Amino acid sequence: MRALRSVYAQQDLIDEVIVVDDGSIDDTISVIGCEFPEALLISQKRHGVSHARNRGIDAAQGEWLAFLDSDDEWLPKKIQVQLAAVNEDLESRIVHGDEIWIRNGKRVNPMNKHKKHGGWIFERCLRRCLISPSSVLLHRSIFQEFGNFDETLPVCEDYDFWLRLTSLLPVIHIPKPLVTKYGGHPDQLSRSEWGIDRYRIRSLEKLLASKKLTTKQIAPTLTELIRKIDIYLIGAYRRKRYSEAQCYEQKKTFYKHIELGFLSTASLGSP
């Protein structure tokens, strides 16, 4: 309930609170009913994080939407700071901030590769997910224009979503912690299965197939796609999953040909 308490500590700036219970087997439903009766509770069988977030998005009535995973916590002025930022830049529709990381009960410092940025950050987001769902504030029009989270992705759904957005939109970055993220526990989604890069590969393939990337964006996307395929192949061979490896070797060959053809065309077209 730490997460919900941090929501209600946002200085009366929250118009509605929606809790999506995705098939919990503990006493979540009864506790919420007792401690937070004013929250809208949506209870469902387990469908995964994307479906849960999408149910919340569809139920929400507000102009600005924010997410909070159950194992994270907003800092007290999170929403206040973000609303001030978007009021100063009325064209922006995405604002996120820094995070405090807690692993196994101890604070750890994010590495430089995890550093958050603002502006046009698409190429930075290709390597890894650089926006935390718990730290972001989004305008409702985002979902009308770009769609919701991809429910076919059991993990890396946020990576997929942010790439779609940042390929076409800039973001505001607040260079101060807005959320505390707690990790290290055994039920984290990132630990649920091996080879999660295959879902990032699928996201990059979808992005290329969408035909929405600019010429400048295509080359780094292809490069990162091939790099992630190489990472996945290392794991597949190590686990002796040779049929999967063969499939991804074919993908690699296919995209290498596209990359070479694209770079040759770009070179011929340059002054």
- Residue 133 has what DSSP assignment? G
List the chain pLDDT tens, one digit each, 271 residues: 899 999 999 987 899 999 999 888 788 888 898 899 999 999 988 899 999 999 999 999 999 999 999 999 999 999 999 999 999 998 999 999 999 999 998 999 989 999 999 999 999 999 999 999 999 999 999 999 999 999 999 999 999 999 999 999 999 999 999 999 998 765 555 555 778 999 999 999 999 999 999 999 999 999 999 999 999 999 999 999 999 999 999 999 999 999 988 877 665 443 3
Q: CA-CA distance, 30 to 52, in Å (whole number)? A: 19
Among 189, 224, 184, which Cα is nearest to 207's?
Answer: 224
Record the pTM.
0.91
Q: CA-CA distance, 220 to 5, in Å (whole number)? A: 42
Q: Which domains does the chain have, with CATH numbers?
A: 2-191 (3.90.550.10), 197-269 (1.20.1280)
